[in-house]
Amino acid sequence: MNHAEYFGSGVYSDSSLSHFINNLIWDNWLNELYIVSVPPIFEYCDIQDTLVPGTGNISADPLFRDTANGDFHLMATYCGDPYDSPCIDAGDPDIVDFILDCDFGLGGTRSDMGAYGGDNLGHPTGIIEEEEIIPQQFALFQNYPNPFNASTTISFDLLESQVVTLTAYDILGRIIKTMIDGYLEAGTHIVIFDGAGLTSGIYFARLETDNATESIKMLLLR
């Protein structure tokens, strides 16, 4: 769970290897996410004003019990609160949680989102630093989903650290958006392409380095 005040951001990330599970990122002073280059992976997270692509993510008021007095437990009618938080039983379904405790977990089926999400002794809420795997070749993968509506995920592998440009074009060859333009470490990288404001049609993503270029075709359907 994260709540930053006084010029704070909810998440500062400069690595695509970070993996966030069962996190609440809400009501931070500056912004919820500050991503330096490419976004990490989010699953079963509640992030304010941002429906992040990924399994089980939501963007809904978590209904903390009493933030004015520093109580960030989730509201639950079981505990006498007026509402049930949307984060109850909304966490990772692989973490079974039958604990009904107003101070520690309200899941009746699976884990809740957040630091008070039930079975966190065996499955702590937090960040998993994935083991880095160096790819065997340069590759730009097909975006997913495709066709897409609003946003889609683009991933690519770099065999070595280098300067990279990832650009989106329309069917007439006009640049729509430059998603990356700078130095990246070797490894797998993930980028979210936001097609907000674009009309339905065919678009292209082109990945360029000093010695290689690859392109994919993307279909936006409204």
* Domain-wise residue ranges, the chain: 1-131, 139-220
Rg over CA atoms, the chain: 20
Residue 46 amino acid letter: D
Do 45 and 23 meet the contact criterion of CB atoms below 8 Å apart?
yes
Q: CA 31 to CA 46: how far, in whole Å?
A: 14
Residue 85 amino acid letter: S
| pTM of the complete model beyond 0.85 | no
Question: Which tokens belong to 161?
Answer: 């650290």
Do 62 and 213 meet the contact criterion of CB atoms below 8 Å apart?
no
* DSSP code of residue 93: T
Residue 128 phi, psi dihedral angles, 5° rounding = -100, 120
Question: Which tokens belong to 15?
Answer: 């690595």
139-220 fold: Immunoglobulin-like (2.60.40)
Tens-place pLDDT, residues 125-161:
444 455 556 677 889 999 988 999 888 889 898 888 8
Mean pLDDT of all residues belonging to the chain:
78
Q: CA 64 to CA 197: how far, in whole Å?
A: 34
